[in-house]
């Protein structure tokens, strides 16, 4: 049984798409951070290192043997859960939330990796429950239980933004995994009913954010400041933008978190509507390709994992951009490949590497038993 | 093992579901695209304006105020650099906590709560203005503020021009002081460029010459960052410094006058009689005009304004006092001019004078015996002048006094001058609506009764005696070098030339020299080598019935005012000095030494030729 080599089945469009986004992100991090007098290695240099490490991570995951990801999915999931517990107990506190673990000079956020771990665990679970005619109510409960544990751990940090991403991944994967529409409707309904309940669990600053999202002018110099300044940055970019390194909102530090969560504000101020459309197109292409691979994979685990990862990216992109444009409350969700940050970069690249790995299955002859987990007998 | 076979060929269900999610993705992207179109294309202009407002600040560059100089070119009011704490209200994030932090570092111009109110008000009405909240910070304070920069958005330390008065309290009443223009002043000012935070003269020369001294503000358009820090200069219009005002004042003389008066309340004025130039003009108690420069605090202001000795009043210009015996030379001259009494005519002083059933005492209980006009002036005999006052009558006396400058607005270039009062029958008729009584004429003879004069008016009158009838307008400003560089000089201005018989005036001058040098009441002002001519005055504040009590033994408020007015050299005066000490007691002992000190300082650097033949 001969198969093309791994390299021949390499998913180049995905990597090239991601690298294009990385390049934009890299230039943008330079623009967003050049005025900061941060001691130590310049953030832009660090970002370059992260990109290179990210590409390494991509290939490391891509080169894993067929089936390895599926087999280790549960173990990976449990390991990440342990890390989340460690963060809660011994993590670094920044801005009122405990999200970071320090390793040497680098800090990383286990919640980012948890998103991928949850995706694989769900994919593995759903690949077992799939049946023609749709998955029923009873099989969905274990999946909810699976997500609930990391969700609570992250929500306790507290990082409601990242916790929310788990729910989006669960919802998206439920759709891909052919959970019956009726069942989905029931859960969607009860989730909607639970929203007011959520209010009571929020911390004061989170409530403030929601309130100021609804009306930013409530507190233009306080909680509404981020949204207002971000909208000013985006809007003042106009059609062609102020030009690279010419943005004033960013370089004069009116923007909060301008190299991480609000990186898009810096970008769209300098590159305008045209640049924003180009960036949007690149992201759409990425998401499109991921859903394409979801549909094309010949292996259910691969399909569901790809679908989960597609939803993961879609959620990040949509929420981050909506937040920067003032369509969504301010939450700590980075823009994949564009925002500065190691955890986000590594997670994104690993996720794409996994997709590239899993999508090799579509070249496998049906019935050929060409899966890595051993040729049947 | 069957259940584990999960291979498929593009499961149509999964494909369909993936497509549905892809459409959701398209929807999300379409929404974002629409939003971006709205922000960046439709509303772009509005946001561009907002971002410009964010980053650009128009900062006023205040023009340095012009110098005020004394006659020797020494600065008596100047402009120095000062580290000021300035607030840009729009950039303030948390006002209370920032003020809290700052109040530990600096002392605000006003109370904390007032600062907060002021900034809060400006945040609504004029958020891009600069509000100075503390002035003249020390270097340590500046460095602590800079260190806490991150916690103090909206506050910055700027080098601003500060008005400074190197002689402190000495020139306070003449120079006046400056303060921030009030909203009313800005509204009423003819100068459109006057804006909030600008300093304007509030008093004295600073107010009178404000138009010359105030420069033209410049502006700086700067780019600021989110913390309100200046990043880059975009455009600059330089400021234009104010003009310089040269005065006739002599700082040495002024300081001498201040020291001679000491803690006592009163006024000391020195004039050059031939030109009317004011050489020294001190009023005590004084205040420190530098206090207003850094912003006066409520408590300080209350202390100043509630002080019964009225430190804010220029006593030389605004205080009016009964002249007492200093009026006598004018009465004597009036008698000579009207030819109602010869100089040689003698009067017997028995220590008192009776008119009807009223008894008027002479200051010398035992009486002066037989005195002629010369003796009467030298000894300041009251009885002689009671009779003379009655003889001359109020109207000729009042005319001569007013001609000489007493009881008139002299027109000195200082704001707020008061006239005082020289009574005559006309005044009596219109104001008191009653007939003139003879006893009033008697009292007028010794400068008591309704008459009250400013020390400046008195000084001008003695200057007229010194010049023999040429009345000069007293002036302080001698030269102005305008903002445009144009020089304007102010020549001496003659108000009136009086047709006095020179022989009469010379006699009066000789008699006044006798007061000081011929065993008279003014011996305390005697100077070696220079003939000083002057007259003491002790003006009663309250009449004390019965026995004569020494003024020094009375409570302060009813003690007599002490006067001494003199010129020197007596035959051709170069300087006239008046000293008036409120509740000072006797003129000869309280006021004469002050005049002596000022004259001594004046002649220290001047050589005086031999006295003229007809002189003493």
CA–CA dist A312, A300 (Å, integer): 18
Say if CB A55 and CB A349 are below 8 A apart. yes
- Assess if residue B9 is contained within a domain: no
Enumerate helices (H) and strands (E) in chain A, giving the number of each.
Answer: 13, 3
Closest among B491, B553, B565 to B522, alpha carbons compared: B565
DSSP string, A270-294: HHHHHHHHHHHHHHHHHHHHHHHHH
CB contact under 8 A, B21 and A175: yes
Whether residues B89 and B209 share a domain: the answer is yes
Three-state secondary structure of B462-501: HHHHHHCCEEECCECEEEEECCCCCEEECCCCEEEECCCC
CB contact under 8 A, A252 and B226: yes
Question: Chain A contact for B30, CB < 8 A?
Answer: no
Q: What residues 324-383 of chain B have any CB closer than 8 A to a CB of chain A?
A: none
Three-state secondary structure of B390-425: HHHCHHHHHHHHHHHCCCCCCCCCCCCCCCCECCCH
The answer to whether residue B549 scores a pLDDT higher than 60 is no
- Assess if residue B275 is contained within a domain: yes
CB contact under 8 A, B6 and A130: yes
Whether residues B384 and B492 share a domain: the answer is yes
CA–CA dist B170, B258 (Å, integer): 6
Q: What is the pLDDT of residues B107-121, one digit of tens each?
A: 776 777 777 888 888
Burial of B312 (C-beta count, 10 Å sphere; 0-12/13-18/19+):
middle
Q: Tell me the shortest Cα–Cα distance from A292 to chain B, in angstroms.
A: 8
Helix (H) / strand (E) element for B75: namely strand B75-87
- Contact residues on chain B for A303, CB-CB shorter than 8 A: 11, 14, 18
Give the pLDDT confidence score for residue A272 in this predicted structure: 93
The answer to whether residue B1 scores a pLDDT higher than 70 is no
- Assess if residue B448 is contained within a domain: yes
CA–CA dist B481, B112 (Å, integer): 41
Please compute, for residue B325, the number of CA atoms within 13 A of its CA located in the half-sphere on the CB side.
Answer: 30
In chain B, pLDDT over 70 holds for what percent of residues?
A: 93
Q: What is the pLDDT of residues B446-462, one digit of tens each?
A: 999 889 999 999 999 99
Whether residues B195 and B337 share a domain: the answer is no
CB contact under 8 A, A239 and B44: yes
Size of interface A-B (CB pairs under 8 A): 164
- Contact residues on chain B for A319, CB-CB shorter than 8 A: none
**Number of domains, chain B:** 2
Q: What residues 116-145 of chain B have any CB closer than 8 A to a CB of chain A?
A: none
Helix pair A110-129, A160-176: axis angle to 10 deg: 20
Q: What domain range is B553 assigned to?
A: 251-296+314-604
CA–CA dist A216, B570 (Å, integer): 84
Parallel, antiparallel, or unpaired for β B178-180 and B155-164? unpaired
Give the pLDDT confidence score for residue A95 in this predicted structure: 58
Whether residues B516 and B467 share a domain: the answer is yes
Question: Chain A contact for B15, CB < 8 A?
Answer: yes
Give the pLDDT confidence score for residue B98 in this predicted structure: 85
Whether residues B269 and B216 share a domain: the answer is no
Whether residues B207 and B325 share a domain: the answer is no
Closest CB to B39 among A221, A231, A288: A231
Question: Chain A contact for B97, CB < 8 A?
Answer: no
Give the pLDDT confidence score for residue A217 in this predicted structure: 64
Q: Give the pLDDT mean for B218-228.
A: 75
Q: Which runs of consecutive H residues, i.e. helices, occur in B56-182?
A: 95-105, 112-125, 139-147, 172-175
CA–CA dist A61, B349 (Å, integer): 130
Question: Chain B contact for A300, CB < 8 A?
Answer: yes
Distance of CA B555 to the CA centre of its chain: 30
Parallel, antiparallel, or unpaired for β B266-272 and B277-284? antiparallel
- Contact residues on chain A for B54, CB-CB shorter than 8 A: 229, 232, 248-249, 252, 254
Per-residue pLDDT of chain A (377 residues), as tens digits, is 456 678 888 889 999 999 999 999 999 988 887 765 555 567 888 899 999 999 999 999 999 998 899 999 999 999 999 989 988 887 666 655 666 676 655 667 888 889 999 999 999 999 888 877 788 888 899 999 999 999 999 888 878 788 889 999 999 999 998 888 999 999 889 888 887 887 777 777 777 777 776 766 666 655 567 788 888 889 999 999 888 888 877 767 677 777 788 899 999 999 999 999 999 999 999 999 999 999 888 888 999 999 999 999 999 999 999 999 988 888 888 999 999 888 899 999 999 999 999 988 776 544 444 444 443 33
CB contact under 8 A, A248 and B15: no
The answer to whether residue B7 scores a pLDDT higher than 50 is no
Q: CB-based contacts of B543: which residues, under 8 Å, 6+ apart?
A: none
Whether residues B292 and B217 share a domain: the answer is no
Token code pair at residue A20: 């294009």
Question: Chain A contact for B37, CB < 8 A?
Answer: yes
Which of A123, A227, A252, A310 to substitute to test the interface with B, most B CBs within 10 Å?
Answer: A252
- Contact residues on chain B for A290, CB-CB shorter than 8 A: none
Q: What is the pLDDT of residues A103-139, one digit of tens each?
A: 655 667 888 889 999 999 999 999 888 877 788 888 8
Give the pLDDT confidence score for residue B399 in this predicted structure: 94
Give the pLDDT confidence score for residue A375 in this predicted structure: 38
Give the pLDDT confidence score for residue A366 in this predicted structure: 45
CA–CA dist A130, B100 (Å, integer): 65
Give the pLDDT confidence score for residue A371 in this predicted structure: 44
Question: Chain B contact for A360, CB < 8 A?
Answer: no
CB contact under 8 A, A291 and B40: no
Note if B283 is an active site residue: no
Whether residues B261 and B201 share a domain: the answer is no
Say if CB A296 and CB A66 are below 8 A apart. no
Token code pair at residue A38: 């941060």
Give the pLDDT confidence score for residue A107 in this predicted structure: 66
Instruction: Name the catalytic one among B88, B129, B325, B478.
Output: B325
Whether residues B237 and B260 share a domain: the answer is no
Give the pLDDT confidence score for residue A374 in this predicted structure: 40
Distance of CA B266 to the CA centre of its chain: 15
Whether residues B364 and B453 share a domain: the answer is yes
CA–CA dist B312, B317 (Å, integer): 12
- Contact residues on chain A for B22, CB-CB shorter than 8 A: 287-288, 291
Give the pLDDT confidence score for residue B483 in this predicted structure: 87
CA–CA dist A221, A256 (Å, integer): 12
- Assess if residue B23 is contained within a domain: no
Whether residues B98 and B193 share a domain: the answer is yes
CB contact under 8 A, B11 and A268: no
In this predicted model, which residue has the larger pLDDT, A365 or B36? B36
- Contact residues on chain B for A221, CB-CB shorter than 8 A: 92-93
Quickly state the pLDDT bin for B542 (edges 50, 70, 90): low
CATH number at residue B118: 3.90.1310.10
In chain B, pLDDT over 90 holds for what percent of residues?
A: 49
Reduced to 3 states, what is the DSSP secondary structure of residue B427? Answer: helix
Whether residues B442 and B323 share a domain: the answer is yes
- Assess if residue B49 is contained within a domain: no
Give the pLDDT confidence score for residue B186 in this predicted structure: 81
pTM, two decimals, is 0.63
Closest CB to A294 among B18, B28, B32: B18
- Assess if residue B488 is contained within a domain: yes
CB contact under 8 A, A288 and B48: no
CA–CA dist B252, B255 (Å, integer): 5
Question: Chain A contact for B231, CB < 8 A?
Answer: yes
CA–CA dist A170, A308 (Å, integer): 8
Give the pLDDT confidence score for residue B4 in this predicted structure: 40
- Contact residues on chain B for A327, CB-CB shorter than 8 A: 31-32, 35
Q: What single-letter DSSP state applies at residue B313?
A: S
Peptide bond just before B285 cis, omega within 30 deg: yes
As a 3-state breakdown, chain B gives helix, strand, coil percent values, each rounded to 5, of 40, 20, 35
Helix (H) / strand (E) element for B561: namely strand B561-568
Q: What is the pLDDT of residues B98-154, one digit of tens each?
A: 888 888 888 776 777 777 888 888 777 666 667 888 888 888 888 888 888 888 888
- Contact residues on chain B for A248, CB-CB shorter than 8 A: 51, 54-55, 223
Give the pLDDT confidence score for residue B63 in this predicted structure: 85
CB contact under 8 A, A318 and B32: yes
CATH number at residue B493: 3.40.710.10
Please compute, for residue B97, the number of CA atoms within 13 A of its CA located in the half-sphere on the CB side.
Answer: 8
Q: Give the pLDDT mean for B472-501.
A: 92
Sign of CA dihedral B588, B594, B600, B602: negative
């Amino acid at each position: 049984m001969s198969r093309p080599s791994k390299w021949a089945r390499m998913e180049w469009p995905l990597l090239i798409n991601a690298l294009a986004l990385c390049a934009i992100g890299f230039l943008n991090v330079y623009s967003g951070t050049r005025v900061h007098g941060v001691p130590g290695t310049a953030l832009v240099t660090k970002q370059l290192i992260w990109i290179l490490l990210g590409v390494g991570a991509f290939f490391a995951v891509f080169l894993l043997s067929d089936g390895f990801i599926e087999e280790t999915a549960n173990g990976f999931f449990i390991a990440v859960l342990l890390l989340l517990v460690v963060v809660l107990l011994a993590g670094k506190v920044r801005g009122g939330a405990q999200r970071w673990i320090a390793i040497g000079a680098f800090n990383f956020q286990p919640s980012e990796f948890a998103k991928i771990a949850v995706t694989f665990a769900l994919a593995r679970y759903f690949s077992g429950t799939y049946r023609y005619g749709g998955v029923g109510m009873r099989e969905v409960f274990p999946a909810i239980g699976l997500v609930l544990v990391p969700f609570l751990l992250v929500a306790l940090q507290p990082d409601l933004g990242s916790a929310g991403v788990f729910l989006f991944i669960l919802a998206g994967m439920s759709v891909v995994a052919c959970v019956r529409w009726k069942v989905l409707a029931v859960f969607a309904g009860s989730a909607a009913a639970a929203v007011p309940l959520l209010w009571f669990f929020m911390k004061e600053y989170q409530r403030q954010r929601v309130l100021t999202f609804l009306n930013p002018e409530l507190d233009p110099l306080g909680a509404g400041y981020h949204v207002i300044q971000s909208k000013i940055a985006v809007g003042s970019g106009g059609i062609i933008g102020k030009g690279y390194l010419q943005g004033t909102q960013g370089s004069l530090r009116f923007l909060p978190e301008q190299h991480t969560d609000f990186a898009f504000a810096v970008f769209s101020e300098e590159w305008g509507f045209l640049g924003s459309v180009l960036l949007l197109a690149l992201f759409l292409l990425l998401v499109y390709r991921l859903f394409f691979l979801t549909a094309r994979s010949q292996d259910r685990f691969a399909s569901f994992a790809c679908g989960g990862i597609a939803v993961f990216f879609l959620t990040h992109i949509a929420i981050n951009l909506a937040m920067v444009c003032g369509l969504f409350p301010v939450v700590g969700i980075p823009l994949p490949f564009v925002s500065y940050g190691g955890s986000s970069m590594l997670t994104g690249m690993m996720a794409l590497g996994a997709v590239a790995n899993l999508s090799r299955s579509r070249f496998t002859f049906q019935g050929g038993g060409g899966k890595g987990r051993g040729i049947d007998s | 093992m069957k259940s584990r076979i999960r291979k498929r060929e593009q499961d149509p269900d999964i494909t369909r579901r993936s497509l549905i999610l892809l459409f959701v993705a398209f929807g999300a992207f379409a929404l974002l695209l629409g939003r971006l179109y709205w922000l960046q294309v439709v509303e772009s202009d509005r946001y561009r304006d907002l971002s410009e407002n964010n980053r650009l600040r128009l900062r006023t560059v205040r023009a340095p105020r012009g110098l005020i100089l004394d006659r020797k070119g020494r600065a008596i009011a100047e402009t120095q650099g000062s580290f000021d704490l300035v607030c840009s209200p729009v950039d303030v994030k948390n006002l209370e906590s920032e003020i809290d932090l700052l109040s530990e570092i600096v002392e605000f111009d006003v109370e904390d709560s007032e600062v907060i109110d002021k900034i809060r008000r400006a945040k609504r009405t004029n958020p891009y203005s600069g509000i100075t909240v503390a002035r003249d910070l020390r270097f340590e304070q500046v460095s602590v503020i800079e260190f806490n920069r991150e916690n103090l958005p909206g506050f910055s330390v700027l080098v601003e021009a500060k008005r400074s008065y190197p002689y402190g309290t000495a020139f306070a009443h003449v120079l006046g002081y400056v303060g921030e223009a009030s909203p009313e002043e800005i509204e009423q000012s003819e100068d459109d460029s006057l804006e909030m935070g600008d300093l304007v003269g509030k008093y004295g020369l600073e107010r009178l010459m404000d138009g010359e001294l105030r420069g033209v503000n410049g502006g700086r358009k700067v780019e600021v960052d989110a913390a309100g820090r200046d990043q880059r200069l975009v455009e600059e219009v330089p400021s234009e410094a104010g003009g310089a005002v040269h005065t006739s004042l002599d700082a040495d003389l002024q300081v001498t006058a201040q020291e001679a008066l000491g803690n006592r309340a009163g006024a000391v004025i020195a004039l050059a009689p031939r030109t009317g130039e004011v050489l020294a003009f001190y009023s005590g108690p004084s205040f420190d005009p530098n206090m207003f420069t850094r912003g006066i605090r409520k408590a300080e202001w209350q202390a100043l304004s509630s002080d019964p000795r009225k430190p804010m009043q220029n006593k030389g210009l605004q205080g009016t006092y009964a002249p007492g015996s200093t009026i006598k030379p004018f009465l004597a001259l009036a008698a000579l001019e009207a030819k109602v009494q010869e100089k040689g005519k003698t009067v017997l002083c028995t220590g008192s004078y009776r008119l009807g059933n009223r008894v008027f005492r002479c200051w010398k209980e035992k009486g002066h015996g037989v005195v002629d006009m010369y003796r009467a002036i030298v000894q300041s005999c009251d009885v002689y002048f009671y009779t003379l006052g009655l003889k001359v009558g109020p109207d000729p006396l009042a005319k001569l006094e007013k001609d000489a400058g007493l009881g008139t607005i002299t027109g000195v270039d200082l704001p707020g001058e008061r006239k005082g009062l020289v009574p005559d029958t006309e005044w009596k008729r219109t104001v008191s609506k009653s007939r003139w009584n003879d006893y009033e004429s008697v009292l007028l003879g010794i400068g008591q009764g309704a008459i009250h004069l400013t020390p400046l008016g008195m000084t001008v009158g003695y200057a007229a005696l010194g010049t023999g009838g040429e009345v000069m307008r007293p002036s302080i400003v001698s030269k102005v070098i305008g903002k445009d560089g144009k020089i304007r000089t102010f020549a001496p201005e003659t108000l009136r030339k009086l047709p006095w018989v020179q022989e009469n005036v010379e006699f009066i001058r000789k008699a006044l020299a006798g007061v000081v040098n011929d065993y008279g009441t003014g011996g305390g002002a005697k100077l070696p080598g220079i003939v000083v001519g002057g007259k003491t005055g002790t003006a009663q504040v309250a009449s004390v019935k019965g026995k004569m009590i020494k003024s020094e033994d009375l409570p302060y408020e009813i003690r007599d005012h002490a006067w001494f007015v003199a010129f020197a050299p007596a035959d051709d005066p170069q300087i006239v000095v008046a000293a008036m000490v409120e509740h000072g007691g006797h003129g000869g002992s309280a006021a004469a030494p002050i005049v002596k000190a000022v004259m001594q300082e004046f002649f220290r650097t001047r050589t005086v030729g031999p006295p003229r033949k007809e002189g003493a």
